[in-house]
């Protein structure tokens, strides 16, 4: 039996540096990197606009399901399906298409769960303390610490809701991933190096 293709997936709390770390890992290993690309590809494949796909992903699952039911009842259909269902299926297909191209790094999008049966998935989760993340978001987005904390809470809730609805594991729980890393006392570069060393030991490459 042929060896399954290794796919590196990275979940992250908002403001933890997860996206930057994942991109750094991809660059150091010379691998394709997928993040917002997934939304763009899903939008193109489904025929829905990019902005709808982005709003869809940032909608808490409970609200999304309510919208799905209401849209169905009031004719909110696309390709004979509820619009939200089309968006979700398109995103799953985009994740699968990314993996089908070979070894890569994928951020978020429930990729670890979607691909777990068909690929050699190595799942990481990046986190950090509330204070550290609030400082990062505040500096990065030019907002005060209070606004940063509110945005963090909202984004983490959205990510957890989306993941927990679709996956059988719990978003952010240590036993849902192969490795969880806190960036409280290390740099993004050091976190990337830790991940690469783990990959080297794990798969003997």
Could you read off the pLDDT of 57-89 as tens digits, one per residue? 666 544 444 344 434 433 444 445 566 667 778
Parent domain of 141: 6-200
Structure-model confidence comparison of residues 28 and 110, the more confident one? 28
CATH assignment of the domain containing 47: 3.40.50.300
Closest CA to 6 of 127, 92, 159, 124: 124
Give the model confidence (pLDDT) of 85-105 as tens digits.
677 788 888 899 999 999 999
Q: Tell me the pLDDT band of 14, cut-offs 50, 70 and 90.
A: very high
Mean pLDDT over residues 41-63, rounded? 63
pLDDT per position as a tens digit, 146-170: 999 999 999 999 889 888 887 888 9
**What pLDDT is stored for residue 68 in this prediction?**
42
| Assigned domain for 68 exists | yes
Domain count, the chain: 1
DSSP result, 91-137:
HHHHHHHHHHTSSEEEESTTHHHHHTTTSEEEEEEEE--HHHHHHHH
Give domain status of residue 1, yes or no. Answer: no
- Whether residue 160 is contained in a domain is answered as yes
32-47: average pLDDT = 78
């Amino acid at each position: 039996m042929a060896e399954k293709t290794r796919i590196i997936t990275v979940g992250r709390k908002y403001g933890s540096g997860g996206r930057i770390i994942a991109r750094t890992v991809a660059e150091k290993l010379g691998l394709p990197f997928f993040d917002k690309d997934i939304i763009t590809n899903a939008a193109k494949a489904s025929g829905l606009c990019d902005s709808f796909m982005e709003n869809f992903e940032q909608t808490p699952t409970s609200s999304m399901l309510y919208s799905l039911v209401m849209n169905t009842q009031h004719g909110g259909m696309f390709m004979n399906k509820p619009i939200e269902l089309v968006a979700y299926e398109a995103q799953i297909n985009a994740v699968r298409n990314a993996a089908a191209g070979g070894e890569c790094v994928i951020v978020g999008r429930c990729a670890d769960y979607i691909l777990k049966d068909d690929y050699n998935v190595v799942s990481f989760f990046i986190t950090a303390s509330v204070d550290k993340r609030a400082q990062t978001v505040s500096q990065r987005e030019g907002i005060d610490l209070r606004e940063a904390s509110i945005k963090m809470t909202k984004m983490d809730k959205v990510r957890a809701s989306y993941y927990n609805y679709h996956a059988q594991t719990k978003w952010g729980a240590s036993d849902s991933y192969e490795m969880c890393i806190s960036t409280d006392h290390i740099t993004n570069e050091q976190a990337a190096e830790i991940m690469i060393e783990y990959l080297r030991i794990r798969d003997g490459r």
